[in-house]
């Protein structure tokens, strides 16, 4: 089954404790990206990757890191989480090129930073 898998789905942590949200896709997509969803703000892009070892900032990259060492994986790293990073996070992937470029989303990760 084609899917984007992200873990954990739910996490409560404390300020400053490093955490990683993993994301994996099995569709051989070149493009992967991370979003955060906050009430009244919609989804905002954090980072994206056009291919292995190619990453770039989205609209809200502060406080986050990513890496793309393998095509299928795109983890999101919070080195020192703060309460303003409490949010719902989505990983997504898509083809590039001639396709219509729809995003395939993971199921979301609800993060609470105390």
Partner 1 sequence: AQTVTQSQPEMSVQEAETVTLSCTYDTSESDYYLFWYKQPPSRQMILVIRQEAYKQQNATENRFSVNFQKAAKSFSLKISDSQLGDAAMYFCAYRTFTGNQFYFGTGTSLTVIP
8 vs 16, beta carbon nearer partner 1: 8
Least distance from partner 1 to the Cβ atom of residue 43, Å: 4
3-state secondary structure (DSSP) of residue 82: coil
Alpha carbon distances (Å) from 64 to 2, 13, 35, 80, 101: 27, 15, 11, 9, 25
3-state secondary structure (DSSP) of residue 84: helix
State yes or no: residue 72 binds partner 1 (CB under 8 A): no
Among 1, 62, 69, 102, binds partner 1 (CB under 8 A): 102
Distance CA 51, CA 13 (A): 31
Q: How many residues bind partner 1 (CB under 8 A)?
A: 27
Structure tokens at 98: 């001639």
Which of 11-19, 63-71, 72-80, 96-104 is the region at the interface with partner 1 (rule: CB under 8 A)?
96-104
Distance CA 74, CA 69 (A): 8
State yes or no: residue 33 binds partner 1 (CB under 8 A): yes
State yes or no: residue 63 binds partner 1 (CB under 8 A): no
Distance CA 104, CA 40 (A): 22
State yes or no: residue 69 binds partner 1 (CB under 8 A): no
Which residues of this chain interact with partner 1, rule CB under 8 A?
31, 33, 35, 40-45, 48, 50, 56, 58-59, 88, 90, 92, 94, 96-97, 100-103, 105, 107-108
């Amino acid at each position: 089954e084609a899917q984007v898998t992200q873990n954990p789905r739910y996490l409560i942590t404390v300020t400053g404790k490093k955490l990683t949200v993993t994301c994996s896709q099995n569709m051989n997509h070149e493009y992967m990206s991370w979003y955060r969803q906050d009430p009244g703000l919609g989804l905002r892009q954090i980072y994206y990757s056009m291919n292995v070892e190619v990453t770039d900032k989205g609209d809200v990259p502060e406080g986050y890191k990513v890496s793309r060492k393998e095509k299928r994986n795109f983890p999101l790293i919070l080195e020192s989480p703060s309460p303003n990073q409490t949010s719902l996070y989505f990983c997504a992937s898509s083809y590039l090129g001639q396709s219509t470029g729809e995003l395939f989303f993971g199921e979301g990760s609800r993060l609470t930073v105390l």
